[in-house]
A = this chain, B = another copy of it.
């Protein structure tokens, strides 16, 4: 019986590495473990007009090098059928509002959730990680369009803040810190928020969640002090 399989990357870029190369071993192990040969890529977070082919080619380059085929969902006449037939999906970064709106507009929310609940592997990065969580309330993106709701795929029962950033020491001129923004969210919402720094990811295997990567992560809970977790920490408690 297959179970929930998620690889949720904070970002596709990590300083000093080519696009997605820092995640090579994670992606390779994750897809091989699940016997995946071909990945359905969802480029809907891209805001640039007519950019889906270009974005898919950008993603296909490293995936092909890792040994996997990639097809863009926009090439299929019926995107729901494409999801229903996919071996695995990868949703890439861009604008989270546009991505979530597109998933609702194309009626892909339920099909993706249903496939993932039944074991189809899901890789997300940045906006693709945001939409895998409870809601996009903790995205960093500019709200360039209005989705019907901020509730998202809910593949996990908490939120993630990707590209989590620490305040710059002594800086008084860069506006609110990320922690202050997440604190505003917790003034009116009790959902846990995992701040995933670039270069890190959350690997979910059924009911086990593990922090992987090059940096620690910061967990924000309502009315509690934030807590740091080092790479390889067991984060399964967040799933229950």
Contacts and interface: CB of A to CB of B under 8 A. Distances in A.
Contact of A137 (B48, B144, B188): B144
Contact of A184 (B47, B139, B176, B187): B47
Consensus secondary structure, chain A interface: loop
Contact of A142 (B47, B49, B173, B184): B184
Interface string A135-162: 0111111111110011000000000000
Contacts of A175: 140, 163, 165
A47 B188 contact: yes
Interface string A47-62: 1110000000000000
A172 interface: yes
Contacts of A185: 142, 144
Given A15-B172, A137-B144, 17 more contacts: A15-B173, A47-B187, A47-B188, A49-B187, A94-B184, A138-B142, A139-B143, A140-B142, A140-B175, A141-B181, A144-B184, A144-B187, A145-B150, A145-B189, A146-B149, A146-B150, A165-B175
